[in-house]
A and B are shown apart, each in its own frame.
Chain A
Amino acid sequence: MAPIFQDVNLYCLLPELVLLTGAVVLLFVRGAGRGSAALPVAATTVIVALAAVPLLWGERAVGFGGMIVKDNGALLAQALLLITALVSFAAAADALPERKNNGEYYSLLLFSLVGMGIMTAAGDLLVIFLGMEILALSLYVLVGFLKVVRAGMEGAVKYFLLGSVASAVFLLGLALTYGATGSTQLVAFTAPATMPALLPAAAVLLVVGLGFKIAAPPFHMWAPDVYEGAPISVATYISVAPKIAAFVVLLRLAGESAGPGREALTGAFVFMSVAGMAVGNLAALRQTSLVRMLAYSGIAQAAYILIGLPALSAGGAAAVSFYLLVYMFMNLGAFASLAHLSRRRTGTLRIDDLAGLASRAPGHAFALAVFMIALTGIPPTGGFFAKFYVFKAGIQAGYLGVVLVAVVATVVSCFYYLRVVMVMYGEEGGAGLRGLPAGVTMLGAAIGVMVVMTILTGILPERFLQAASAAFPLLAAGM
């Protein structure tokens, strides 16, 4: 009989264990509002978990018989996720009502981080699925966390029901993978299959489940509604974190696939990418609400990233992870700015409300302008290189048509991104947005860091790019 605890190696789950401990501790933290210990505990937990990342870097810790592989890719993604969480904490400190007990909020957020940590490091579809479910169940609740807000509940119920359907579809894909190969491990996609005919179907169904997470059309429709309904700190988080985790899974899936499964995946990626660029950009054009505009913009951004997936052989993996890195900085920054501007506001912030922001709050306006310019992909911000690299990989892998669409889409996106800049730097005395917080707040500092990083990734992209290509060396070499 096999030994009971075979090849456990809890070391490789160090960050997750830290987070889990924090999540449990937070359940016992009492008190509400500013005096509550919840935020410090949560932030400390995340920082400790973040400290564990360099500890594991380069070690490629493997545990549980290959079900967990904490390679550099997983660690890079984890670092991004933890930073995202920190920024969303800063937003939450402002956005959550004083009276509410926030321990559970932060606890659920840490649970979701555990789920994503598992997803990004998993070598097995079932483990990925469980990570996704831990993530999803926490997020459903977070979206509806402020139950007094009608829109919040609407967002939560839509997110929950649609998310459950998507995970059911993912499960069907998992079942078919098992049927085709007798295993649910990712490497099974390259192994000889018992029923190879099932593999393309399985791959596509898995992509549907993951496409839901990255909000790629036609699985995207939840995103604008959920972002708008959720507390702004949660929207900030959802717009970045699950996408990063899901993209890492997609990268691994694409990297492990071969034969007909690979063809199916490629087709699905190309389809979602083109659809996303069309839907995201066109729908964003006529949004008046800033958060919905950013939601559609996120759909478009995910679509650009998707170009890198079928182009793994041409440096697509590095391009995708670099894009994710930059996307985190710029999108997080944009949402954090939005959170900062819309705190204590009822109703959504309209783009027109930003009129004249440049003269009243030059710092905020400058930051938001940098993020918008970066999202457009104008140099010398990181956004330019992110696009540049993905497009380059796409062309080299022979997806000239998709890249053409992407370039046109970028042109279209100028309309709505730069409209924000125009409005802010527009009328000297706009009407909206009085009473912005003065002085340095936590969120303000976070936004400042995002600005610096967004520009730095454009001025010194080399270092970041090296980290990104070091993250998925096997993918780059193996394809």
Chain B
Amino acid sequence: MSRISKNKYDNFKADRSKFPQMENGKAIIDLDSHKFTKLWQGPQHPGVTGNMAVELTISGDEIVQAKTHVGYLHRGFEKLLERRKYIQCFTIVCRICVPEPDTNEYCYSTAVEELAGIEIPEKAKWIRTLNMEMSRLASFLMWLGGQAGSLGMGAIGQWTVGMRDFWLDLFEEMTGGRIYHMYMIPGGVRKDLPEGFIMRAKHLVVETRKLLFDIEKSFFNNAIIKSRLKCLGIITPEMVDEYGIVGPNARASGKEYDVRMNNPYLKYPELDIKMITSMGGDAFTRAEVRYQEIHQTLDLISQILDKIPEKGEIQAKIPNVVNWKIPTGETYVKAESTRGEHGFYVVSDGTKYPRRVYNRGASYTQAISVLEKLAVNTSISDLAGLMVSLHTCPPEIER
């Protein structure tokens, strides 16, 4: 793992004595002076992650100010959830994060179960764990493609998204859905694993490993990738606390925070899992941490496939969902998504409808506060790469 020396940090900081001039900690940007240009990246822009926009003020090739604009995907989820019965909500929460819907399903279902005092059966827990890890894998593969694509290396993206599609096939078999699985439902899961699923999954784990080694050779051992990602967007350990950074972004800066190990849930305590951290905090370290986490996830999937019980109930007994009332209370359930701590805060008031469902998207601060800070002084060429390296997911920011 690369460890950036203190000196290198200092070198990275650009000389800002000339422009823009600072006043009370704020940059004076006079557009009419023609020293600066306003530039919008997004929302219609192939380089931004999803549908969001970054308003840049640039001077030459250097970004002097960045402002994130979100809301292009705002659907008012939290308002809609207030109008829906507890069981109806589960279909809609997965839409909050498109590449990785299962974390939402898990968090929401668990929160409801916790409020209603339901304990789900063992087998359902195993299946959920498997589902969560598979969704992490799918999301990571997509991210890997995105990271390579943002730097102009299309091949990696083509491979990983293709491989992700094979995993989606497995999802389809398991859940009946391709993108939106709507599988983990308050009370358990909707269907048992189909026949032969475990064999196929094991086979695919091997295939994915093979692909990953190819990727390691061509992506992580690539001179140009290294030259572009190293020293890009360094997150210092202090920033992690200040900005509420979680997930691989925080772990790449040495913060030992992984919900699966810090506050274990589902079957994670029974699995052999080690925290992956690194120092350095730049984009390349983050990529490496994620790469190791993909391997970790594959490892976990193999473990789960070995341990999953063959028979068992998949659903706890729940009352008729049409008239399901949840006792008053509130809870916060979190899980580790690919982007970090993903949580649901559910408040119930004893009726059929939730009082409030709040979703803490893992990339909420990472895409706005952190990106705005890190983008300054980088080249516009690097913005796309930086944005992907923070792994932002706009739909979970604006919800």
Q: A and B bound?
A: no
Task: List residues of B whose CB falls within 8 A of some A CB.
Answer: none
Task: List residues of A whose CB falls within 8 A of some B CB.
Answer: none
